Amino acid sequence: MNQLFALAESQGITVQEAELRTFRGFYVPAYRTVVLSSLLNEVQKRSTFAHELGHAYYDDSTAPSDQVAEFQERRANEWAAELLIDPYEYERAETLYGPHPGGLAQALGVTRELVEAFRMTFARCA
């Protein structure tokens, strides 16, 4: 988490927590602020934080359509996955635990969504 806070600070991004029940987090571009749910466990919080920093990196704002929103969400997940998942650690975890995304997520300390995004990114690069 310290790495993520340092990255946010270096980009001039403020981080806040709130008792969010509908969302894990969100990014407010006008205020360069990431808001994270205080109800998340550490893995969810770390993954969500990286995901929201992905939105900040791409300067995403409210999407004008569902198609654009899906694109922004996928792109933020891929950005977060590349930030948090080391390819060598992923390979090692897959060797030890097999290909199941849930098991890999647990071994790597990220959410299943980020494992799946990592796979999509890696598949395009291979």
Q: How confident is the model at residue 123 (pLDDT cuts 50, 70, 90)?
A: low
Asked if residue 10 has pLDDT above 90, the reply is: yes
Produce one character per residue of 112-124: b if its CB has 16 or more CB atoms within 10 Å, e if not. Answer: bbbbbbbbebbee
Share of the chain above pLDDT 90, in %: 89
CA dist 78 and 7 (Å) reads 17
Is the pTM above the cut of 0.75?
yes
> Each residue of 43-64: pLDDT tens digit?
999 999 999 999 999 999 888 8
Q: Check if the beta carbon of residue 1 is closer than 8 Å to that of residue 49.
A: yes
First to last CA, the chain: 29
Dist. CA 15–CA 56, nearest whole Å: 12
> Does 40 have pLDDT greater than 70?
yes
